[in-house]
Amino acid sequence: MTTSFDLRLRPGMVLTGKWKQGRYQVVRLLGEGANGQVYLVEHRRRWYALKIGRDAVDIQSEINVLKNIRLRKAGSEPFLVAVDDYSDPAGQDYPFYVMRYVRGMPLHHFMEKEGADWFPLIGFHLLGKLAALHEAGWAFGDLKRENVLVGEYGRVELVDYGGVTASGRSVRQFTEVYDRGYWNAGSRIADGTYDLFSFGVLCVHLFESRRLLHLTQTLLPQNRLADELMKLVEGNSTLKPFAGWLNKAFNGGYANAREGAGAWQRLMHGPGVRMKRPVAPRWMTGLFAGSMAVLAATIAWMMAEGMLTLGLP
């Protein structure tokens, strides 16, 4: 991935906003893409993600979307925290915004590390995230492995809102291989079905990346069809139980992610699906065992004291 500018912020340096004077200490680079670089920063003793770019228009349109979609759970901090410009020592201005730091690793790295058994649950969580956007009148647009971060217990967060588009408009930003138009399977009009198509490609990309790459290198544009993707699905043991679902998603059969999530959930417990069930953290198991021991001791003591009988005649 190349970026359009060569700014490098070093760990430890403090970036001060030109207009609002907010101070952000750089911890490390989190990632970079076409629109900018994302750094982990510390601000008022808390961690945030700071995205900085050169193109004010690109960054500003992401900011506008983030302001509009209000990714906020009741009582929690907003996703978008601050907006400002940074002036480098040479006087060059770079627009940036600060957002909530999402602790997690990109989906494909998580899956490589933790195993495919997580796939059904993570897929379900991801559909839930998309459903919330669809219900608010948006499509995510640029769904791909890198834009899905997975945290503990398979919790999922979407990052990079540069492609988020109001329903009914033309998708603003997409990645070719995930794009419905690329596969001759429909328009680039933003809606739930567009994201579900990309979700299907994402599933294929996770488990059949080599063959998917081969298809993109060998198929003539007119032969790029969802049927080709389905062949990869049918040949893969993790994806096969979801073949019916994926076929429907590739053909626009689910109007939105909520509908898709319901059907996905039913399949998760079906035949042929190996699924990780997150276990409660050890401290919670310990707490439960501890409370049971206290309860047993209390009952024994009450019985000994004659305060409790077992209901025998």
31 vs 95, beta carbon nearer ligand ATP: 31
Q: Give residue 149's identity as a one-letter amino acid code.
A: L
- Region binding ligand ATP by CB under 6 A among candidate stretches 14-22, 25-33, 111-119, 236-244: 25-33
| Cα 69 from Cα 61, distance rounded (Å) | 12
Instruction: Indicate the residue among 188 and 248 with the shorter CB distance to ligand ATP.
Output: 188
Does 248 carry a binding-site annotation?
Answer: no
95 binding ligand ATP? (CB under 6 A):
no
Contact between 99 and ligand ATP by CB under 6 A: the answer reads: yes
Rg over CA atoms, the chain: 24
Rounded-to-integer distance, Cα 42 and Cα 9, Å: 13
Q: Any contact of residue 9 with ligand ATP (CB under 6 A)?
A: no
| Sole binder of ligand ATP in the list 34, 82, 268, 275 (CB under 6 A) | 34
Q: Of the residues 84, 142, 191, 195, which is catalytic? A: 142
Task: Output 43 or 258, the one with its CB closest to ligand ATP.
Answer: 43
SS3 label, residue 105: strand
Segment interacting with ligand ATP, rule: CB under 6 A, options 35-43, 203-211, 240-248, 279-287: 35-43
Alpha-helix runs per DSSP H in the chain: 56-69, 107-114, 119-135, 192-207, 209-218, 226-234, 243-250, 257-268, 282-304
In this structure, the dihedral spanned by the alpha carbons of residues 127, 128, 131 and 136, taken in order and rounded to 10 degrees, is -150
Helix or strand run (H / E) with residue 150: strand 148-150
Q: Does 160 bind ligand ATP (CB under 6 A)?
A: yes
3-state class (DSSP) for residue 97: strand
DSSP 279: P
Stretch that binds ligand ATP, among 16-24, 94-102, 129-137, 222-230 (CB under 6 A): 94-102
Taking CB under 6 A as the criterion, the residue among 7, 102, 132, 166 binding ligand ATP is 102
Nearer to ligand ATP, 201 or 246 (CB): 201
Pick the piece of the chain touching ligand ATP (CB under 6 A) from 15-23, 28-36, 239-247, 267-275: 28-36
Nearest of 232, 216, 208 to residue 179 by alpha carbon: 216
Classify residue 312 by burial, with Cβ atoms within 10 Å: 0-12, 13-18, 19+.
Answer: exposed
159 touches ligand ATP (CB under 6 A): yes
Count of beta carbons in the 10 Å neighbourhood of residue 10: 8
Task: Judge contact between 210 and 235, C-beta under 8 A.
Answer: no
Write down the least CB distance from residue 53 to ligand ATP, Å. 7
Please compute, for residue 307, the number of CA atoms within 13 A of its CA located in the half-sphere on the CB side: 6
Of the candidates 69, 77, 103, 48, the one whose C-alpha atom is nearest the C-alpha of residue 17 is 48
Residue of 114, 146, 228, 259 interacting with ligand ATP (CB under 6 A): 146
The residue within the footprint of ligand ATP, chosen from 95, 120, 123, 162 (CB under 6 A), is 162
Whether 142 is catalytic is yes
List binders of ligand ATP among 247-276 (CB under 6 A).
none
Q: What tokens were used for 137? A: 């009148």
Select from 9, 15, 49, 130 the one that contacts ligand ATP (CB under 6 A): 49
Q: Does 106 bind ligand ATP (CB under 6 A)?
A: yes
Question: Which of these ranges, 132-140, 158-166, 239-247, 254-262, lies near ligand ATP under the rule CB under 6 A?
Answer: 158-166
In DSSP terms, 50 is beta-bridged to 39, 98
CA distance 202 to 178: 7
Give contact residues for ligand ATP (rule: CB under 6 A).
1, 30-36, 38, 49, 51, 99-102, 106, 146-147, 159-160, 162
Residues tagged in the binding site annotation for ATP:
51
Residues tagged active-site = 142
